[in-house]
Chain A
């Protein structure tokens, strides 16, 4: 068994002299049949859309008994033809990961600790604080006296998890508040 990478490289360069004893120690494995089950056998295929970017690749989700077993690109969709990037390929983990956030988390201004909050409390807080800032900072007219209704002290960030229609609604809401600093956070 005294056959390692160095020997391999050496031998390929210099020939096989002196290896005859070694040869006797090397067994030739017989051809073996090896079979394994396919984990997506007998699953239902559900076509879904990757939530990450605007390319919106189609993904086949394999479901068995209401549980997600596997995800992979849909070869019949002309845009991605079955392919996925690293984010789309990780869709299974995105749904099954224990570290996934399931409830709103809140960190107080100047605080160092995240605490779990209810949706009711969170939405109420957001609405209250948005209104407070808007009431204080909304600029109704510019220096020339033209109506602008502009809110410059707030930044609105969207998500690439949102589809086109959701983005349109979010954008209209931000504009409605007078926000001018708007970003989508698309990572395509």
Chain B
């Protein structure tokens, strides 16, 4: 059964327990960072941080809003990164249909820097990062090791406020709708970010751009990513593969 995250940002206090739990479970080393005037630290995702709590503050009329975005790979239903890079090296980028996890393996070291740029550009959420030393491309693994052994991801396990949730996709979608109805009473502009096309569904309390540039793939374009990809793939799936085989 496909799994999903539901991340209710209205419940996030930016304690960053998720960010640390991720590092601890994955054995990722510390980064040398500098004070940049924000609690967001490190400043961006990198090969040592698959998870990053992004901080954003802005004025909403007279009220100061401070919103937090626990950024990570969305594990897209139809991952554009795999559409672009999946065929480059066999077994380097995998979409596990069982869980819905998008996984980059050590074989990504065989992918060139130029191809990596294409992969990164293809990601609607600007997630993949490449270690310049090893050449390995990395990002959130959905704690595939834990999930395939019946445990929940380390970040979700650590979350003390219930902002992060993980479970069967339908269960998460139901939870997202229920939370949205409740949060809308306080924040009328509250919305779910791309719920139909990703496995990591965020509940945002305000305009997505107030959170982070890549909090959603696109805004109200009239056509979401899933519809786009369905159109892109469906009619030519067979003919494309037959052409490639020739």
Contact = CB atoms under 8 A, between A and B. Distances in A.
B151 to A, nearest CB: 8
Interface residues of A, number: 47
A38 B151 CA distance: 10
A72 B84 contact: no
A73 B231 CA distance: 44
B13 to A, nearest CB: 9
B24 A26 contact: no
A85 B20 CA distance: 9
Given A8-B124, A26-B240, A27-B87, A34 B144 contact: yes
A84 interface: yes
Nearest to B160: A83
Contacts of A133: none
Given A32-B96, A36-B145, A89 B20 contact: yes
Given A5-B123, A23-B236, A32-B94, A73 B82 contact: no
Interface stretch (A11-19, A114-122, A141-149, A156-164): A11-19
B221 A13 contact: yes
Nearest to A5: B121
B20 A90 contact: yes
Most chain B C-beta atoms within 10 Å of own C-beta, residue among A31, A80, A86: A86
Most chain A C-beta atoms within 10 Å of own C-beta, residue among B16, B17, B243: B17
A3 B15 contact: no
Interface residues of B, number: 62
A13 to B, nearest CB: 4
A38 B146 CA distance: 6
Contacts of B122: 3-5, 8
A39 interface: yes
Contacts of B160: 80, 83-85
A19 B240 CA distance: 13
A86 B19 contact: yes
Interface string B122-146: 1110100000000000000000111
Contact of B17 (A9, A31, A35, A84): A84
Nearest to B161: A83
A24 interface: yes
Given A73-B158, A83-B160, A89-B21, A28 B145 contact: no
Contacts of B244: 24, 27
Given A8-B122, A19-B232, A83-B17, A29 B95 contact: yes
B224 to A, nearest CB: 7
A38 B19 contact: no
B184 interface: no
B223 interface: yes
Interface in A12-71: 12-13, 15-16, 19-20, 23-24, 26-29, 31-39, 41, 70-71
19 contacts: A3-B80, A3-B84, A4-B118, A9-B217, A12-B225, A16-B231, A24-B243, A26-B84, A27-B244, A29-B86, A29-B94, A37-B145, A72-B158, A86-B17, A86-B19, A86-B20, A89-B20, A90-B24, A92-B24
Interface of B: 15-21, 23-25, 30, 80, 82-84, 86-87, 91, 93-98, 103, 105, 115, 118, 121-124, 126, 144-146, 148-149, 151, 154, 157-161, 217-218, 221-225, 228, 231-233, 236-237, 240-241, 243-244
Interface of A: 1, 3-6, 8-9, 11-13, 15-16, 19-20, 23-24, 26-29, 31-39, 41, 70-73, 75, 80, 82-86, 88-93
Given A3-B80, A12-B224, 15 more contacts: A1-B118, A3-B122, A9-B221, A12-B221, A12-B228, A13-B222, A19-B232, A26-B84, A31-B97, A83-B159, A84-B17, A85-B158, A88-B158, A93-B24, A93-B30
Which 6 A-B pairs rank lowest in CB-CB distance, beginning with the nearest? A4-B121, A83-B160, A27-B87, A89-B20, A89-B21, A29-B86
